[in-house]
Every structure is written in C-alpha cells, then in structure tokens.
Amino acid sequence: MLKIQKPVIIVGCPRSGTSLLFRILSTSPSLWSLYRESNDIWNSYYKFTGKEFKDEVLTESDLDDKTKDFLLEEFHKNALNIYELGYIIREYLMKKKELKGFISLTTAYNLFYKNLFSKEYRIVEKTPKNCFRVSFINKLFSDCKFIFLKRDARSNINSLIEGWKAPDKYVRGQASHIKLDIKGYSDNGGKGWKYVLPPDWENYTARPIEEVCAFQWVSSNRAAIDGLKSIEEDRKITISYEELSENTHQTIENICNFIDIPFGNELKKISKNPPMVNYVTKPRKDKWKQNLDLIKNTYPIIEPMMKELEYKLSS
C-alpha cells in the first residue's frame, strides 16, 4: 500500500522565509511536493467535514479516522516529483478557470504513475497556517519532522506591511464579508484580510496596519512554539531566516542531516545561488528601516516574543 512517510513540515509566520526554504527543499529528488501552498487541500477539509471556519486553529480533536484518510489521499493525489509540472499547475492551471480541467487530468496521470511505480515516499509541505495546526498535523502525519523558521520581528513585520499594501496580492477568501478599517490599508483602497487569521483576529479589523502585522507575527510564533512543545526533540529543529539567507549552503546541509536526505547536487546548486521567492520588493539588509516609525510603534507588542526567540531590539 502506498503511503507518505516521514513528511517534512515547514512552520513559520507569513513572510518569515518559509517560501524560500520550501522552494529549496522542493528541488530535492528525495522529497515530493505540491510546489505550492496547500490551501486548496485545507479548504477541502472544511468542505468534507462541514466544519465552520473561524480562524486558522485546528487541533488533534478536529481529526477523526475518516477525515484523516481523506486528507492523506488528498496529499497523495496532489504530491508531485517534477518541479516544472508543479510550476505549470501553480502559475497557469490554477489561475485560469478555463484550464482547471487540465488539473484533474494531470492529477489522474500522476496518481496512476505513483500507484504503478512508487512505494513509500516523502513530501515537504508548507503553509503559514501550519503554525496553528501543529497537533493536528502531528496526528495526521505521526512520523513527520518539523522545521520551525523564525525571523526578527522588525524585518518580518516590514515584509508583512509591504504585502498588505501590495495591490491584489495575498488576500484571503475567508472573511471577505468583514468590513475593514485598517489605517494604512483600508484608507488607501485596500479590501480583504491578508495572510493568516489567528484567533481574535476580528478585534484587529480597525487597528493600524503595523499593529495588525505585529499581531500576526506574535500569534504565529506563539502558536508554533506552544504546539511544538509536545513534539519530541529529534523531530523538530529551529532555524532563523537570517542564517537561511546569509549562510544558505551550510543551513540547508544542516537541515538535510536533520531530515535525513542527501545534500545532493540539486540542493548544493540552489543553495549556492538561492532564488528570490515571493517578494514584493527586492530583499536587502535593514530594509525594515524604511518603515522604522511604524515598526517602533509595535515594540511593546513584539518585545516579549523577540526575547523568547533570542532577538534583541537594540541590535
């Protein structure tokens, strides 16, 4: 019987570097991938169960045997081992309604191939929603390994602010009926909540944009840290965006050792020249200072979590 074994689950706040890490690890022949965030699979969970969506949180109590079988089959159907095919599905087929029929054909062929030629295999999975679903995912994939990616709040919040201000990007389908009055976003024509919806998000629909982003950063990291407390030490690792971006080659080699896959030619090549992934404007060190005044407003909110993640506001 085919099954996914020892999946690699990336956990991190939106804009913390999870897309970069996911893109790099997805080049490994040892790991299958959706080559996109798994939002469609998580949406199918709500349709399958009839559960009302309120926020991102799912716990182990939200997963019964029937639903577990359904989700495992969804990941099995959609996991690929060809980056080019994943790219076409993500960038073309899923964005054009008239081409979505090709997704079903591609999925059917991929499933036929796996059922015929593959046995057990591994996947890498990433979506920022994972922060709020650690116990759920651990029950779904009991042998998974977690990579928790942290990032200095100042640069993370700056990137979130950029994303909130970017027209027609990152808007959530959920909560589209909620009227927003977010200073720095709504007053510039912005509509629709962006990125993750942590518990209590409804109380931030009329806050300044920097407070909303600080709330998302703190909530994502708090949920990830608390969720990972119950995971065995040999199944979790924490890395920082700073070491991933500044010392990519060594960081990826360390991750390969942790998840027990070869640090092969594909990973060595992409680690030496990392791609720029999912950015609004080109990354640069201390770019967060372009929003210095806004970010300073969040210091009382972010300082406790900064200390917990071993960052210093004075640096």
Percent of the chain with pLDDT over 70: 90
Q: What domains sit in the chain, N to C, each tagged with a CATH number?
A: 8-81+121-308 (3.40.50.300)
Continuous H helices in 64-152:
65-78, 83-91, 100-117, 134-140
Please tell me the predicted confidence (pLDDT) of residue 283: 66
pLDDT at 117 over 60: yes
The amino acid occupying position 283 is: P
Residue 310, pLDDT > 90, answer yes
Going by pLDDT thresholds of 50, 70 and 90, the confidence category of residue 291 is: confident
Cα atoms in the Cβ-side hemisphere of radius 13 Å centred on 217: 31
User: What per-residue confidence (pLDDT) applies to 1?
Assistant: 43
Residues 6+ apart with CB under 8 A from 261: 28, 30, 31, 122
Which residue, chain included where needed, has tokens 């469609």? 40
Cross-strand bridge partners of residue 239: 149
**pLDDT score recorded for residue 120:** 86
- As a whole number of angstroms, the distance between CA 309 and CA 271 comes to 25
Q: What is the pLDDT of residues 129-144, one digit of tens each?
A: 999 999 999 999 999 9
Query: In this predicted structure, what is the pLDDT of residue 168?
Result: 81
Residue 300, pLDDT > 50, answer yes
Asked if pLDDT for residue 68 goes beyond 80, the answer is yes
Q: What is the per-residue pLDDT across 148-207, written as a single tens digit (0 to 9) for each? A: 999 999 999 999 999 999 988 888 877 777 899 999 999 999 989 999 999 999 999 999
Overall average pLDDT of the 30-47 stretch: 93
Q: Which amino acid is at 221?
A: N
Q: According to the model, what pLDDT value does residue 199 have?
A: 97
As a whole number, the mean pLDDT across the chain is 90
